[in-house]
Amino acid sequence: MSKHPLLEGLNPQQTAAITADLGPVLVLAGPGSGKTSVLTRRIAWLIQEHHVPHHRIMAVTFTNKAAGEMRSRVEKLLDSKLRGLQIGTFHSTCARFLRRDAQILGYRDNWVIYDSDDSQRLIKAIVADLGMDPKENPPRRINNRISAAKNEMILPEQYQAMSRFDERVATVYAAYQRELKTANAMDFGDLLLNMALLLQKSDERRKDYQDRFLAVLVDEFQDTNTVQYQLVKLLSAPQQFVFVVGDEDQAIYRFRGADYRNLLRFRKDYPEPAIVLLEQNYRSTQTILDVAGAVINNNSNRTPKNLHTSRGQGEPIALHEAADEQYEADFVLEQVRKLRESASIAYSDIAVIYRTNAQSRAFEEAFIRARLPYVLLSGFGFYQRREIKDLLAYLRLIYNPDDRVSFERVINTPARGIGKKSLQAFADWVTSEDLALSDALNKLYYDDHNPLSTAVKGKFLQFVNLLATWTEMAQPGGLGDLFQHIVKQTRYDLHLEKISQHEDEALDRAQNLSEFYGMLMKADDSGQTLHDFLDERTLYTTADSLEEDDDKVRLSTFHSIKGLEFPAVFITGLEQDNLPHRNAIAEGKEGIEEECRLFYVGITRAEDHLFLSYAMQRRPFGGSSINGISRFLADLPAHLLDGSPLTLAYLRQARAVAAPTQWEPRHPIFERQPKTIAPPKQSIAPANPAIRSQFAAFKAPQKPMLRIGSRATHKQFGGGLVIGIDPGGDIVSVSFDQHQLKKVFAEDLTPLVE
């Protein structure tokens, strides 16, 4: 019997999922097993075989881009245009529904959506109106609490205060909702919450929506939060033709209130759902799957899975150690070129993944320099980011006091109480008098014929004085300090919090500034002038898009790469404190497990070629740091890795000291435990002669000698065991008794005589 065309080439489990009876269906499966493909075909199946009209189907995806792709796939499968088919993200879908129905909730027809800036400003005004101290009640923090409450469908009157601060949040929350209503506005959280409330409140509208949508399908179900879960439940009742697909191991939005336990809840809330497990992976080589499995197996509370593929073993995973982030970017570039030349892989088939947006900077610069095309999958390019543009504008103005564009950007950023009208009057005066900006600023205070009030002139003068101090500081070797002064004296740190809606956004912006600071420190090290520094940056700020076609390497964070696949993937920045990120480490086990899932999501994007890299040195805020390698690397099966003998030896040493797998409590070198590792009787120099000779070739460091296997003390980290020394002899890997495995400068170590 020949197969139905929609089932061509599918395995029996996939077929079972697509052809399951109308009713609740839960597809649970690992990455690359065809969850999204099955969901897409299920839509086509419902239309073709169950004759569900396409405009009575609703599908939810994670990004608008994914929604677009899904629509075109279904249209291709059925060879027809399906305009009324509702596919979108939760937010876009709800906004669309509310556009029509918000008046039921008391909004006027022309309601607007408030973005982060608007919400933040409103909360700030409310805090002030209520006479609360803004320092004790930072609007951003309150906003976070309010968003979290909305995700949990907690209304102001239901908000349970567990602390004094919470009590104030409750008060602000109530006032905020009233003000939003008066302004006829909804914030992002309201889009989901209001839709759920509408469905709960209005029997009539609920019935309309339930009648309209005969079938509801949700991709990436593990990342839904409470309000999203409720929306699905409300919309899919009473017939419950609901089809959800997910993978608990890929839950990466816990910080936005997502709860992978919704997968379990689903089984309880929908009686006897058809549960389909897909087992075969069609995306990756077996080596990639084995590495992914080794990484995720450390997490607790999960169903163990064996990922297998018929794609064959494939090539080993490349592991690369770079001296710093620039060398890391150079490594990626070199490999990208090779992939293109020797394996004919298109640029668009290559993804470079990093943990924080700030890390894109080194890659963007390298790609621009090499004139290779790239595109960022999320966010803006480093130099397009608001905070970077602001700081660059300060530096430009310091360098060139007549730069009006930069002046206009920063004169009231952060706010100095200089209004638009005053600025316009100033600009008109400068133009009418035909003055250079610097002359105008100098003349302003003493010239009675200019249009500004004395108070505003005073504010200008303060700014001019600051500029003068900074100009004096702008000497080679002092650019890092100059940056610190600008941030401090303008209170740019507070401004940063103000313009960020969520804690993670503020952190992200702060991290971008750290990255920028690191660049200035580097410029200081090499004796650059401010002019040299700015000149170099101009190259990167003006080379916005090299060409228009789509064959570009994808640069992305882990969060934005979800659901996609690429023949070649680079996972970069595999250092302790970066992945897992230090904030997650501070959160403890749950935080680290989420980071582990991020790594897992990254690895499983790769089809054939996977490259892992770490940089021994990165420059975050406050100077250079040498991080240990990511704890996740120690769990990778050695026989699947390929890299320089030294890198592999380093990893082997790390592994030898580490107990295998399991975060707690069996990871002695990665946990800060007051436990002494006894010095081994013999040196643990590598057995491989090639590596040994590399170790032997070191220049003798100062006496007494640091040796592999001997003990040493570090000024900051205390005693530890030397487990590796880099060829130059400057950098030493030490397993510290009180600390994790780290690379440190040899000069900071004092060898202990045994």
Report the candidate in 485, 540, 483, 494 with the shortest Cα–Cα distance to residue 516. 483
Greatest alpha-carbon pair distance for the chain in Å reads 95
Stretch that binds ligand ATP, among 6-14, 300-308, 430-438, 462-470 (CB under 6 A): 6-14
Whether 36 is catalytic: yes
Report the candidate in 381, 409, 382 with the shortest Cα–Cα distance to residue 395. 409
Q: Smallest distance, Å, CB 312 to ligand ATP?
A: 14
Give the active site residue among 61, 222, 250, 617: 250
* Total chain residues near ligand ATP (CB under 6 A): 19
Give the active site residue among 41, 63, 124, 220: 220
Whether 337 is catalytic: no
Site string for ligand ATP, 548-567 (x = CB under 6 A): ---------------x-x--
Whether 740 and 754 have beta carbons less than 8 Å apart is answered as no
Phi, psi (5° rounding) for residue 707? -125, 150
- Amino acid at residue number 458: G
Using DSSP, state whether 420 is helix, strand or coil: helix
Q: Smallest distance, Å, CB 138 to Mg ion?
A: 38
Is 361 or 562 the residue whose CB approaches Mg ion more closely? 562
d(CA 640, CA 291): 7
Neighbouring CB atoms inside 10 A of 629's CB total: 23
Interacting residues of 640 by C-beta distance below 8 A, sequence separation 6+: 287, 290, 291, 316, 317
Whether 38 and 44 have beta carbons less than 8 Å apart is answered as no
Is 284 or 576 the residue whose CB approaches ligand ATP more closely? 284
Whether 71 is catalytic: no
Q: Smallest distance, Å, CB 405 to Mg ion?
A: 44
Give the active site residue among 13, 14, 35, 359: 35
Whether 109 is catalytic: no
Q: Smallest distance, Å, CB 304 to Mg ion?
A: 21
Q: Smallest distance, Å, CB 10 to ligand ATP?
A: 5
Residue 631 interacting partner from Mg ion, ligand ATP, none (CB closer than 5 to 8 Å by kind): none
CA distances from 18 to 132, 277, 366, 370, 502 (A): 56, 12, 45, 46, 39
Stated as kind and residue range, the H or E segment containing 725 is strand 718-725
Report the candidate in 271, 268, 276, 270 with the shortest Cα–Cα distance to residue 245. 276
Q: Smallest distance, Å, CB 17 to Mg ion?
A: 13
Residue 314 interacting partner from Mg ion, ligand ATP, none (CB closer than 5 to 8 Å by kind): none
Stated as kind and residue range, the H or E segment containing 326 is helix 325-343
Is 245 or 388 the residue whose CB approaches ligand ATP more closely? 245
Written as six digits, the tokens of 614 are: 């770490």
Written as six digits, the tokens of 416 are: 């100095």
d(CA 229, CA 225): 6
Residue 10 interacting partner from ligand ATP, Mg ion, none (CB closer than 5 to 8 Å by kind): ligand ATP
Report the candidate in 142, 151, 379 with the shortest Cα–Cα distance to residue 254. 151
d(CA 572, CA 258): 26
Stretch that binds ligand ATP, among 27-35, 55-63, 209-217, 687-695 (CB under 6 A): 27-35
CA distances from 710 to 658, 684, 704, 727 (A): 17, 9, 11, 17
Strand partners, 732: 725, 744
61 binds ligand ATP (CB under 6 A): no
Site for ligand ATP in 193-252 (CB under 6 A): 247, 250
Is 39 or 295 the residue whose CB approaches Mg ion more closely? 39
Whether 535 and 491 have beta carbons less than 8 Å apart is answered as no
Is 66 or 648 the residue whose CB approaches Mg ion more closely? 66
Phi, psi (5° rounding) for residue 184? 55, 50
Site for ligand ATP in 267-286 (CB under 6 A): 282-283
Among 4, 11, 197, 373, binds ligand ATP (CB under 6 A): 11
Q: Smallest distance, Å, CB 48 to Mg ion?
A: 22
Q: Strands 25-29, 274-278: parallel, antiparallel or unpaired by DSSP?
A: parallel
Q: Smallest distance, Å, CB 228 to ligand ATP?
A: 18
DSSP state of 132: -
296 binds ligand ATP (CB under 6 A): no
406 binds ligand ATP (CB under 6 A): no
Q: Smallest distance, Å, CB 635 to Mg ion?
A: 25
Site for Mg ion in 24-63 (CB under 5 A): 35-36
31 binds ligand ATP (CB under 6 A): yes
Site for ligand ATP in 670-699 (CB under 6 A): none
Is 37 or 335 the residue whose CB approaches ligand ATP more closely? 37
Whether 605 is catalytic: yes
Neighbouring CB atoms inside 10 A of 397's CB total: 25
Whether 655 is catalytic: no
- Amino acid at residue number 627: N
d(CA 734, CA 744): 7
Is 35 or 71 the residue whose CB approaches Mg ion more closely? 35
Site string for Mg ion, 547-566 (x = CB under 5 A): ----------------x---
* Total chain residues near Mg ion (CB under 5 A): 3
Interacting residues of 678 by C-beta distance below 8 A, sequence separation 6+: none
Written as six digits, the tokens of 463 are: 């700014």
Name the residue whose CB lies closest to Mg ion: 36
Give the active site residue among 13, 14, 36, 557: 36
Stretch that binds ligand ATP, among 25-33, 357-365, 384-392, 478-486 (CB under 6 A): 25-33
Contact residues toward Mg ion (CB under 5 A) are: 35-36, 563
Contact residues toward ligand ATP (CB under 6 A) are: 9-11, 14, 29, 31-37, 247, 250, 282-283, 563, 565, 604
Active site residues: 35-36, 219-220, 250, 605
